[in-house]
Structure 1
Amino acid sequence: MKTIHYKRASTIDELEQIRTLQLQNNSQNISSEEKLQEGFVTVQHSVALLKQMNSACAHIIAKDNDILVGFALVMLSSFKNEIEVLIPMFERIDELVPKDKTYVVMGQICVNKNYRKQGIFRNLYQFYKEELQHKYEYLVTEIATTNPRSMKAHESIGFKVICIYEEDGIEWNIILWDWT
């Protein structure tokens, strides 16, 4: 029986394991069939950027002993210009979220293939909420329409679509989880 524990990322080793899991599940590194069935991640972060983001607000991770088996990145709006592909998302979020509301962006979520269908996705989000709801009213992220598994999983958590837009031929859903 696996015992998964949830925590905030705190070591370079954990950030390197996030990067490894990210590369293993990147849309460029998996088949079309796997993308449809398992979902995928789009953005690749350098360990240096993961470290900067983590210093500002630590990422949420799931571990099986010393092995990182899942992550949910925390991305503050101060990083909106660090990843070019995410700039349009941040611009839209700033237009959509009322100025008197606070939000944080879930930068990416991923669970190791060998650990899926065990509740880790849901538990990562529950821990995320427990850790950050005292500081933020909303959790916002975006998902490509071509990633139906991820859309369905996020809707089951409580995310609602607040905007659909197209950028560089890809249709994106901006989704929001209201913690108020």
Structure 2
Amino acid sequence: MITYKTSENDTELEGILSLQKANLKIGLPEGEIESQGFVTVDHSLEVLQRFNQIEKHVIAKDGEKVVGYVLAMTKESRFDIPILLPMFEVFDNIKFRGKVVSAYNYMVVGQVCVDKDYRGKGIFGDCYLTYKQHYSEKYDFAITEIAKSNLRSLKAHNRVGFEEVHSYLDPDQTAWSIVVWDWKNSK
């Protein structure tokens, strides 16, 4: 039976890291990247602990095994992962509903992943539903960026309710889609 909760201890954070490492783009064959999607950023336990002290990550567990997660980041986390700083800079310059994104109180989806053996069972959507239940009273929306080449992730986020608000090319010519799940103006 799958349970959904917020992360409470280092064992659960290590479960997130184990799942993350198994799905990093850098270690996956091209065919799997195209069909199954991927995660980009390789976090450390210390970074996940810092994030978790601000807002807890949402995890899906099968018994004691972490089989899915949605990482919780806030504006406070902006400088914790240098590779993500350009994303926050884009947030400072794009508009959503007439205001720059940085004017809102938002949650950043630091990353989302579901174990390969558990995909297609609704865990992705249920993790996000739990995320929304925990944070929609405190934050206006969830926002993240997804590589346009990660078609599985783009489709899954669209199913949950995310909508593209901006796209751009980074200096390495990677195309990114910035998507928002507007908690104040959605079902």
Q: TM-score, normalised by structure 1?
A: 0.96
Shift of 1:95: 2.3
CA distance in 2, matches of 1:123, 1:150: 15
Residue 26 of structure 2 aligns to a residue whose secondary structure is coil
Question: What's the counterpart of residue 130 of structure 1?
Answer: 133
1:98-153 deviations in Å (ceiling 9; x for gaps): 35531110000000011110000000000000000000011000000110110011
Question: What's the counterpart of residue 48 of structure 2?
Answer: 50
1:36-93 deviations in Å (ceiling 9; x for gaps): 1100000010001000000110000000111110000001111111212211111111
Confirm or deny that 1:9 pairs with 2:7.
Answer: yes
Written as runs of structure 1 = structure 2, the 5 A alignment for 1:7-86 is 7-86=5-84
Residue 48 of structure 1 aligns to a residue whose secondary structure is helix
CA distance in 1, matches of 2:26, 2:89: 26
The 1:178/1:43 distance shift into structure 2, 3 A limit, reads same
Q: Which blocks of at least 5 consecutive residues in structure 1 are unaligned? A: none
Number of residues of Structure 1 aligned to a counterpart in Structure 2? 178
Confirm or deny that 1:171 pairs with 2:175.
Answer: yes
Question: What's the counterpart of residue 141 of structure 1?
Answer: 144
CA distance in 2, matches of 1:6, 1:52: 21
Segments ≥4 residues shifted beyond 2 Å? 94-101
CA distance in 1, matches of 2:69, 2:43: 13
CA distance in 1, matches of 2:78, 2:165: 19
CA distance in 1, matches of 2:32, 2:51: 29
CA distance in 2, matches of 1:164, 1:85: 17
Amino acid at match of 2:174: I
Shift of 1:94: 2.3
CA distance in 2, matches of 1:100, 1:36: 35
Among the aligned pairs, what percent are the same residue? 40
CA distance in 2, matches of 1:173, 1:48: 28
